[in-house]
């Protein structure tokens, strides 16, 4: 109801035992969140599933929201790390190759824990101070824009900031929806290729050749 004051982890676990506790709490939160949804999840249940007492949960997370937030942070960091890694690996690749690699990486990332990702995106209420998701978007846009700037000579759009914005949101939405609604479409490369076409044709002047003729 009211903005909750404490959203950040309460203390760093110092001993190995404590780190294991924190880990088990986070994993239990995931499981409960996926199974029961955000509204169905409650701290007593999470603690029970984690095999610890509520007290231990509150020793490390000062509120239910801080707990969820920590999970979101972890998830965002994973996603961002994956994206950054792919961008840096595509340093010298052509736009076509890099884009296709990136789209496949996104599909892969979403496919890792699709149910968890769904909960993250669909159910986690936008708690006050929950800007991590927005931050992640901003960083993703920055990464993409940096990449586009290196290739700007070949690009059609003049406003690269706007282009990054559109590309990031379009790819995220398509990837996310596909994982949830068309999981079978992940097997053959059609989905990945079509998303890549969406991006490349938007960015490049002229037609975009199919992947085999480029690679």
Query: Which spans of this chain sit near a second copy (rule: CB under 8 A)?
Result: 1, 36-40, 122-123, 125-126, 128, 134, 137, 156-157, 159, 162-163, 165-166, 169-170, 172-174, 177-178, 181-182, 185, 190-191, 194-195, 197-198, 201-202, 205-207
- Answer yes or no whether residue 58 interacts with DNA by CB under 7 A: yes
The entry of DNA, a second copy, none near residue 126 (CB within 5 to 8 angstroms by kind) is: a second copy
DSSP string, 145-187: HHHHHHTGGGB--S-HHHHHHHHHHHHHHHHHHHHHH-GGGGS
User: How far is 65 from 52, CA to CA, in rounded Å?
Assistant: 18
Q: Does 32 bind DNA (CB under 7 A)?
A: no
Considering the complex, state which of residue 47 and residue 191 has its C-beta at the smaller distance from a second copy. 191
Binding mask 132-171 for DNA (x = CB under 7 A): ----------------------------------------
- Residues 47, 54 contacting (CB under 8 angstroms): yes
Report which of 99, 33, 104, 112 is spatially closest to residue 65, judged by C-alpha positions.
33
Distance CA 26, CA 57 (A): 10
Rounded Cα–Cα distance for residues 11 and 22 (Å):
10
Count Cβ atoms below 10 Å from residue 150 Cβ, excluding itself: 12
Q: Which does 214 bind (CB under 5 to 8 A by kind): DNA, a second copy, none?
A: none
Binding partner selected for residue 27 from DNA, a second copy, none, CB under the kind-specific 5 to 8 Å limit? none
The option from a second copy, DNA, none interacting with 153 (CB < 5 to 8 A, set by class) reads none
């Amino acid at each position: 109801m009211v903005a909750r004051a404490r959203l950040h982890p309460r203390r760093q676990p110092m001993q190995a035992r404590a780190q294991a506790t924190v880990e088990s709490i986070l994993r239990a939160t995931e499981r409960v969140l996926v199974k029961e949804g955000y509204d169905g999840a409650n701290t007593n249940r999470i603690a029970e599933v984690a095999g610890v007492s509520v007290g231990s949960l509150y020793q490390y997370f000062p509120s239910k929201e801080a707990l969820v937030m920590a999970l979101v942070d972890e998830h965002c960091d994973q996603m961002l790390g994956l994206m950054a890694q792919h961008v840096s690996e595509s340093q010298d690749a052509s736009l076509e190759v890099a884009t296709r690699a990136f789209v496949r990486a996104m599909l892969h990332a979403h496919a890792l824990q699709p149910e968890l990702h769904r909960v993250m995106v669909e159910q986690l209420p936008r708690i006050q101070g929950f800007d991590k998701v927005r931050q992640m978007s901003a960083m993703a846009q920055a990464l993409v824009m940096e990449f586009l700037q290196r290739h700007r000579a070949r690009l059609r759009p003049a406003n690269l900031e706007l282009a990054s914005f559109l590309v990031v949101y379009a790819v995220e939405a398509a990837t996310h929806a596909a994982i949830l609604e068309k999981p079978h479409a992940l097997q053959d490369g059609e989905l990945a290729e079509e998303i890549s076409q969406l991006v490349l044709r938007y960015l490049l002047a002229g037609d975009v050749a199919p992947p085999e003729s480029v690679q």
